[in-house]
Every structure is written in structure tokens, then in C-alpha cells.
Amino acid sequence: MQLESAPNTTAIIDNKEYLFFSGTSYLGVPTLPEFQTILSKSILKWGTTYGSSRSANLKLSIYQKGEEYLKNILHTEDAVTVSSGTLAGHFALRYLRKNVTSFFYMPKTHPAILTEDAKPVFEDLKLNSELKEAKNKSICIIVDAIATLETAPFSFDFLNGISSTNTLYLLLDESHSFGVLGENGNGISLHIPKRENIHLIIVSSLGKAFGINGGVIAGSKKCISLIKSDSLFIGSAGMSPAFLETFVNGQNVYQNQRLKLKDNCSYVYDKVKDLKHIRMSRNYPVFFFENEEIATFLSNKNILITSFYYAASTQKTNRIVLNANHTKKQLDSLIDCLIQFKL
């Protein structure tokens, strides 16, 4: 199906209106008039893009302002923005390859932060023996805050099984949690154990909850300084300054939308939590179906969801996404259909 205009809570296909429960626009800001006004003012100030290296002699003040804001939200020593979340993951991995001897990944890790030589953290549901036996090593563990087909963060209790003699770099992708989960939408990183041997690096897209094209890397001053000195970073243009200023100036809109989203999540959860064929949680706006027939069933009821084979997946992803702008009437239409599907 091809959409001819940006969807919000509805989408038009072949002159027919559907309810739209897809995408990753969790806060629903891209089509929100007050958000578009903030973006328009930022574009008038900064233009649509700034095609210059971030390391050039002439710099735009919004990068420092925006990155200060991001490091404070994420509670890290420093942060830097790039043009996409995928590129943020790429830069973080380039830094880590120079500092660690081995990589391990949690289940369902996104390809943007996955290395070909990475090994699984778990084998047969137990901590990988290499991790359990490692001593005095430099190790990177790669993890999505919210993994594909999951509705809640992973537990980090497995870190207790790794010797504190190791230096652990934890590469955390917050793309689907930043702006949605945590106090004031700062994601899940504050729940990660604070230990001297654990060094946290956060990467995230800003194009999901926050509705702007860009990505962020946050971590120690040393990490961010080395990323800024990477030849690829020096040779790249930064994210749109207008988008970054929109992020800074749009915080009140984000907060209001986050409260509306939280209310929508609770409303749907309370109505369908007992349906056995749904995997969901109260605080997260995405839930899943194992039965691939759900997408066709809902489409016949004029409801669109995400249904496709995701990267490296042999199982079709059937993903229903709420956003902050869905009305109770629209949510009730979805709820009624989900109950009918069970019957």
C-alpha cells in the first residue's frame, strides 16, 4: 500500500480512509500544528540544512545548545548529534572496535548496532560461558532498550554474572524508548547498574518519538571526543540545525503528548489485557500478535497496522502502534476489532 500524504491517526489510500495504528511516531508530533509552527520558525532561522563539517572553523551555536540539552536529559557526561540513528550506531561501533576485544549481543538486537563478529550473551537461556569465565578483558555488550517484538526492557541482572575485573562497555540503543519511557521520557538508561567497570554508551534515533530526522550518541567525555575526531565524523555534515532547535524548543509539546500517550496506553491495556493472543504492557504503545491473520482481519475493518518481515526475521512482524493523537473513539474501534478477532 502506498500513502500519498503523511498519516496521523488516519491514512488515505485510494480515496478511502483507514484508522492508522502503524509507524513509530509514538508522540504523534509530525502532523501536530503547534509542533509544525515550532519547526517552521526554526527553518526560517537556520534554513533546511547546513552542509558543512561539524569540525569546520565556523560553527552553529545550536549544536552546542542542543547537545548540552541531550546530555542533561540522558544524564551522561557528553553527547553529540549526527544525521540519523543508524549513523549514531555506526559511529559508536567504530569507537568501540578500537577499545574492546570482543562483542556480545542481547537477543533481537537491531542491525544498526550489531557487529558480524558478536556472540550471543545467552546460550540455551544461560549466560554465555565466555562471558561467565572472562577475567581482565575489555568487552562490549550490545542491547536494544526495547528489542524487536518485545514490549518491555530487558533485565540487566545478567551483569551480576560477569566478573568485575572486566571492563564492560554497554552499547544501549534507546531509539524506541527515548521520549516514551522513563521519567520525562529519558528512556531506561537510569535503570542500568552503576559500577566502576561499566561504561554506558547510548545511541538513539530522534526520528521516532521526537519527530525529527537525526540521531544522538551520549556517553563519557572521552568517548564523545574520540567520535568527534573520527575522520568519518569530520567529513560528514551534521543533522539539520532547524530540527535540532525544534527538539529543544518543542519540549513542552513533547511533554503534553507524552501524557496523552500514557493515557491512551492505559486505556487500551485495561480493555484488552486479558486477551491471550496479544503481547503488551501498560506503559508501552506497541503490542504484538503471533497470528499473521490479524493484519488482514484489521485491514478488512479499515484499520492499518505494521505487518512485514523485519530485518533478519523469519517471522512476520505484526505490530500495532498507538500514538498520542488517537481519540477514545478510534481506540474503541480498535479494541472492538481485537475482541472480535479472538472470538
Q: Biggest alpha carbon distance in the chain?
A: 65
Assigned fold of 50-239:
Aspartate Aminotransferase; domain 2 (3.40.640)
Q: 13 versus 70: which is more confidently predicted? A: 70
C-alpha grid cell, residue 193: 547498574
Choice between 243 and 59, residue whose per-residue pLDDT is larger: 243
Give backbone dihedrals phi and psi of 83, rounded to 5 degrees, phi first: -80, -10
- Would you list the domain boundaries of the chain? 10-33+252-342, 50-239
Question: Quick one: CA torsion of 80, 202, 139, 143, rounded to 10 degrees?
Answer: -140
Amino acid 277: pLDDT: 84
Residue-wise pLDDT tens digits, 309-324 = 766 566 678 899 999 9
As given in the structure block, the three cell numbers for residue 271 are 480493555
- Give tens-digit pLDDT for 245-286: 999 999 999 999 999 999 999 999 999 999 988 889 999 999
Return the amino acid letter for 79: A
Q: Does the pLDDT value for residue 329 go beyond 60? A: yes
pLDDT mean across residues, the chain: 93
**Cα separations (Å) of 328 from 200, 266, 305, 322?**
39, 12, 18, 11
CA angle 279, 282, 287 (to 5 degrees): 30
Band (pLDDT 50/70/90 cuts) for residue 343 is low
CA gap 93, 80 in Å, rounded: 15
Residue 94: is its pLDDT beyond 90?
Answer: yes
State the pTM of this model.
Answer: 0.94
260/14: higher pLDDT: 260
What is the tens place of the pLDDT at every residue in 67-87? 999 999 999 999 999 999 999
Q: Which residue has the cell 479499515?
A: 302
Q: Report pLDDT digits (tens) over 198-240.
A: 999 999 999 999 999 999 999 999 999 999 999 999 999 999 9
Has residue 47 got a pLDDT over 90?
A: yes
Question: What single DSSP character describes residue 192?
Answer: S
Average pLDDT for 152-167: 93
b (16+ CB within 10 A) / e for 237-269: ebbbbbbbbbbeebeebbeebbeebeebbebbb
Using CA atoms, how far apart are residues 217 and 83, in angstroms rounded to an integer? Answer: 11
- pLDDT reported for residue 286: 95
* pLDDT value for 311: 62
Give the residue from 281, 282, 278 showing the smallest Cα distance to 305: 278
Shared fold status for 10-33+252-342 and 50-239:
no
Q: Which residue has the higher pLDDT, 97 or 1?
A: 97
- Could you give the C-alpha distances from 163 to 69, 97, 125, 183, 264, in angstroms and in order? 35, 21, 19, 31, 42
Where would I find the H helices in the chain? Answer: 33-46, 61-74, 85-97, 129-133, 221-228, 231-234, 241-249, 251-272, 293-300, 328-342
* Burial category of 293 from C-beta neighbours within 10 Å (exposed 0-12, middle 13-18, buried 19 and up): exposed
CATH topology of domain 10-33+252-342: Aspartate Aminotransferase, domain 1 (3.90.1150)
The rounded Cα 171 to chain-centroid distance in angstroms is 13
